[in-house]
Structure 1
Amino acid sequence: MNLTTITAGAWTGFLGKGLAPRELEATAYAASDLTAKEIARLMGITPKSVSKRLDDARFKLGARTVRGLVMEAFKSGLIAAVSCAAPADPDPQQDRDQDHQGVFLA
């Protein structure tokens, strides 16, 4: 089975871009501002193992902090926010105008 993404909380991580699957999963959970203890509970590992995964990911991306790791992962396309809602229509009036093209009201 070939997985190309990992969803962790409100974030999707993309495999094959430099981080190991568990590093990517921990990074995605960290993007949700969870503590190592909370991440450990979700991943079924110890908080110490979470810290190790995040440290390894920080080293690979050249980040000094977990916040920096999340920012680098986001900027480099390793993680993206999961979108649950359809994008809002930027100009609903434009749609109404197009619906009534050629119809003139007196």
Structure 2
Amino acid sequence: MHKAIILGQWKGELGKGLAERELACLLAVAAGQTDKEIARREGLSPRTIKGAIERCMYKIGAFKRASLVAEALRRGIIAPAACFLLALLVGLQHQQTTFTRRPETPRRVEMRVAARRDSAAWAV
């Protein structure tokens, strides 16, 4: 049986290669928190948090925070909490996205020709 950590709207499973602190930092990164915000909440140094996130990146094989979260989602290490996922699905059912485009019209090339006065030519 795996232990789960829930942080805000994210849920993470221990026992999939990450330590408890690393998983907690990964969930906080998924929630959009900075190193300083995580450190303030955990009562640790921002450098300690940065090290835990770097260890997560090394273990998962990602080198940016966004790709770290995406790869953790893909591997099933973290997932949105059930209430967040349910709210998202309900919201998507009621939202209809329509794009209004102008009707397709044929393109016209307009040429303007300067009119010469024939009367001026005849006057000479």
| Conserved 8 A contact 2:9-2:84 | no
In structure 2, the residue matched to 1:103 is none
Q: Is the CA contact 2:2–2:13 (under 8 Å) kept in the aligned structure 1? A: no
More relative contact order, 1 or 2 (CA 8 Å, 6+ apart) = 1
Counterpart amino acid of 1:49? T
Deviation digits for residues 40-83 of structure 1 (CA, Å, limit 9, x no counterpart): 11222111111000000000000011211111111100001112
Which residue in the other structure is 1:99 paired with? none
**Cross-structure match for 2:77:** 78
Match of 2:26 in 1: 27
Equivalences for residues 1-106 of structure 1 within 5 A: 4-84=3-83, 87=86, 88=90
Q: In structure 2, what is the Cα distance between the partners aligned to 1:79 and 1:48? A: 23
Runs of 4+ residues deviating >3 angstroms = 85-88
* TM-score with structure 1 setting the length: 0.75
What's the CA shift for 1:35?
A: 0.6
Mapped partners of 1:74, 1:31: distance in 2: 10
Gaps of 5+ in 2: 94-124
Identity over the aligned pairs, expressed in percent? 38
Tell me how many residue pairs correspond in the alignment.
90
Shift of 1:84: 2.2
SS of 1:6's equivalent?
strand
Q: Structure 2: how far apart are the matches of 1:65 and 1:41?
A: 22
RMSD between aligned alpha carbons? Answer: 2.2
> What runs of 5+ residues in structure 1 fail to find an aligned partner?
91-106
Flag the 1:35–1:4 CA change in 2: closer, same or farther, 3 A: same
Structure with higher Rg: it is 2
Structure 1 position 85, deviation (Å): 6.0
